[in-house]
Amino acid sequence: MTTVLLVIHLLIAVALIGLIMIQRSEGGALGIGGGSMGSLMNARGSANFLTRTTTILGIAFFVTSISLALIASNSGSRSSIADQIQSSAPVAPQPVETQSTPSAPLPQ
């Protein structure tokens, strides 16, 4: 259930970013995006559609965010990620002791 909700949440986030980028800038912050967008989004009705769609996606984003937070808080594990990393850290290997045998001197 968490995976399905997370995928829906990500799709809503991407759609919300796309809709916000399409909308016409009213402030003209840097002089970009404030001009006419051509024939694609020049009617007032399409602006109302974008505003409504952005509002609906924003509400859906908050609902999925709260749902994911509630699911995470009700999960069985109460340990933090740092605790899980420390408990599963590999143990450093101990050096292997070998018996040294006397070797013959090397010829020169």
Is residue 47 within 8 A of residue 24, CB to CB? The reply is yes
Q: Quick one: average pLDDT of 2-20?
A: 94
Confidence of residue 74 (pLDDT cuts 50, 70, 90): confident
27-46 b/e (C-beta count within 10 Å ≥ 16 → b): eeeeeeeeeeeeeeeeeeee
Among 43-47, 51-55, 63-67, 103-107, name the one with the lowest average pLDDT: 43-47
- Yes or no: say if 72 and 3 are a contact pair by the CB < 8 Å rule: no
Task: Spell out the domain ranges in the chain.
Answer: 1-25+45-74
Mean pLDDT of 75-89: 69
How much is the average pLDDT of 57-80?
A: 87
pLDDT per residue as tens digits for the range 14-59: 999 999 898 876 655 554 555 555 544 555 666 788 889 999 999 9
Task: Give the whole-angstrom CA distance, residue 13 versus residue 41.
Answer: 22
